[in-house]
Structure 1
Amino acid sequence: MRSPFIFPVISLAAALVVLPAHAASSDWHQNEGGRIRLVTASQPDAEGRLQGVLEIDLKPGWKTYWRDPGDSGVPPQITVDGKRFREAKLDFPAPSRHDDGYSEWAGYDRSVLLPVSFTVADGAAPMGSIAAQVLVGICEKICIPVHADLEVDLAKPSHEAVEEALVRNARAALPGRAAADFGVSVIASENGVLEVEASLPHGAQSVELFVAGEEGYAFATPARKAQDGRLVFELPILARPAQKPLGEGVPYTLTSSAGAVSGFLPYP
């Protein structure tokens, strides 16, 4: 009599053959302040996204920028060739505030992992390679724009356990999702100033607000003030588009001793 377990075993074996691991990495691109590379892990999900990491390994004393670096910085950027992957989207761990004597800016004074989501192009097979163009600013006393062409051969996995762990750790280090009891809400937007109130867990200290000027917006460094027992930030609006965009809103990250969250403010 035919065993009822033959077909499941054959199906599993077939799946292992046709779904090879995608954990792989590019070569390191060396520069004066450190090195950068791309790492990918896992399979594309049901929506055609492959998770990865832009790893920025800094030498001591060097820094790099957050998504909004201020007036004169270089935000991390990544583009793909569009043949196999049509989009690459960066996410950002919580930054810290820096003052170089010329301006204040948001970024990282340590090596950092920036999660990347690659979206498979319509009709493209997920195997092959990712060809990406990366631009980051790496700074000691002055900022050096670093351009790199990075290629990940998905058909040649290397240290899969290491790469999987890098991607997992990078996503775990992202700020949580803002909520009513830990986040920021708009109080007013008038006279060229966006005024917001921070809600925080009990006892939270060392609070910082970072707002990303994107879609044609630009903001000055948030100014903190106490107002009737509330924590309020004023953000001078330095530039705005002619029409409000249709996206989710202005991205922000709120950091404190209780952790960090990210969310969106309505376009002013």
Structure 2
Amino acid sequence: MKSTKVAAIGLLAIALGSAPALASSTDWFETQGGRVRLVTSGKPDANGQLHGILDIDLDPGWKTYWRDPGDAGVPPQLDISASTNISSAEFDFPAPQHHDDGYSKWAGYDQSVALPITFHLKAAGEPAMIDAHVFLGICETICIPVSTKLLLDPASDPDNADDAALVSAAQEALPAAEQPDFNVKIVSKDEKSLLVEATFPGNPTSADFFIAGENGYSFAAPKRVEKDGRTLFSVEILNRPAQAPAEGGLHYTLVSDAGSVSGILPYM
């Protein structure tokens, strides 16, 4: 993906479009390899948060990316700066899968996927209009950068049960919060590598681990290591900032045949 596919991205025109809709969901934006839309639950919650999804419907054989797409992918991005009464928005991600296409190893989805979004209102109780620029990559043998504007007024259809059910189902499909018997802990670390131990229920051979690079960090695909009955994952650190950020941490997801959890590892 890093050579042929990046070159292909440079040669292909970005798919541009606009799909306005005065409803709790937008119309589908059609593109090569699939289609995308925004769906919301219609009503903000008591905390002034509006819940929604980026609904990505992939054609057979096409794929899209997790929050960390590897060394040559395009993660989903959402710019809501043109929106009314929306201060910020962030994605959540269901558990991904590892892929190796011969060019690079990356994390993502090989089936249609709904990415939950939390929109934060500037003023609870005031009208909000979502005017979002969505950018993501979808891939078959080449990657297509998809760029579109999606506009909706959630309050125009606030009681749409079908849309609310889609949002709820996507939230329920997210990894659970890390648990004492289902998590990863750092065993060792240095300038070039990170070693974590996975604790999880289920088949001992079923575990898979994903760590997202951000704030100047990037990582190679984790490598599974079995040692003394323990499941470890070794991760090469490809890039890191000169100084670790003072707050926050690195998102991780741990998967087994018993389910999945997500958590935060401290910066190193």
TM-based fold match above 0.5: yes
| 1:107 corresponding residue in structure 2 | 108
Return the structure number with greater relative CO, CA threshold 8 A, min gap 6: 2
| 1:43 corresponding residue in structure 2 | 43
CA-CA distance at 1:152 after TM superposition: 1.1
| 1:226 corresponding residue in structure 2 | 226
Work out the number of aligned pairs and report it: 246
**Would you say the 8 A contact 1:205–1:257 is kept in 2?**
no
Over the aligned positions, Cα root-mean-square deviation in angstroms equals 1.8
What do residues 208-261 of structure 1 show as CA deviations (whole Å, max 9, x unaligned)?
101000111001111111112111111111111122123331100011111111
Q: Which amino acid aligns with 2:137?
A: G
| 1:63 corresponding residue in structure 2 | 63
Distance in 1 between residues matched to 2:45 and 2:137, nearest whole Å: 31
**Would you say the 8 A contact 2:210–2:252 is kept in 1?**
yes
Identity among equivalent positions (%) equals: 52
CA-CA distance at 1:62 after TM superposition: 0.6
What SS does structure 1 have at the residue aligned with 2:155?
coil
Distance in 2 between residues matched to 1:126 and 1:56, nearest whole Å: 29
- In 2 relative to 1, CA 62–158 (structure 1 residues): closer, same or farther, beyond 3 Å? farther
What do residues 125-174 of structure 1 show as CA deviations (whole Å, max 9, x unaligned)?
54242100111101010111100100112232188111011000000000
**Would you say the 8 A contact 2:177–2:263 is kept in 1?**
yes
Q: Which amino acid aligns with 1:118?
A: F
**Would you say the 8 A contact 1:44–1:126 is kept in 2?**
no
Higher mean C-alpha displacement, 235-244 vs 151-160: 151-160
| Residue 139, structure 1, aligned to residue 146, structure 2 | no
Query: 1:86-97 residue pairs with structure 2 within 5 A?
Result: 86-97=87-98
What SS does structure 2 have at the residue aligned with 1:163?
helix
- In 2 relative to 1, CA 58–260 (structure 1 residues): closer, same or farther, beyond 3 Å? same
- In 2 relative to 1, CA 202–145 (structure 1 residues): closer, same or farther, beyond 3 Å? closer
Unaligned runs of 5+ in 2: 1-21
With normalisation by structure 2, the TM-score equals 0.87
Distance in 2 between residues matched to 1:267 and 1:128, nearest whole Å: 36
Query: 1:153-172 residue pairs with structure 2 within 5 A?
Result: 153-157=153-157, 160-172=160-172
Higher mean C-alpha displacement, 249-258 vs 80-89: 80-89
**Would you say the 8 A contact 2:121–2:128 is kept in 1?**
no
What do residues 173-211 of structure 1 show as CA deviations (whole Å, max 9, x unaligned)?
000111221010001112411110000115343211010
With normalisation by structure 1, the TM-score equals 0.87
Unaligned runs of 5+ in 1: 1-21
What do residues 70-89 of structure 1 show as CA deviations (whole Å, max 9, x unaligned)?
00000011120254201110
Distance in 2 between residues matched to 1:23 and 1:253, nearest whole Å: 34
Q: Which amino acid aligns with 1:117?
A: T
CA-CA distance at 1:93 after TM superposition: 0.2
What SS does structure 1 have at the residue aligned with 2:61?
coil
Q: Which amino acid aligns with 2:205?
A: Q
Distance in 2 between residues matched to 1:109 and 1:224, nearest whole Å: 22
The higher radius of gyration belongs to 1
**Would you say the 8 A contact 1:23–1:160 is kept in 2?**
no
Distance in 2 between residues matched to 1:88 and 1:212, nearest whole Å: 19
What SS does structure 1 have at the residue aligned with 2:108?
strand
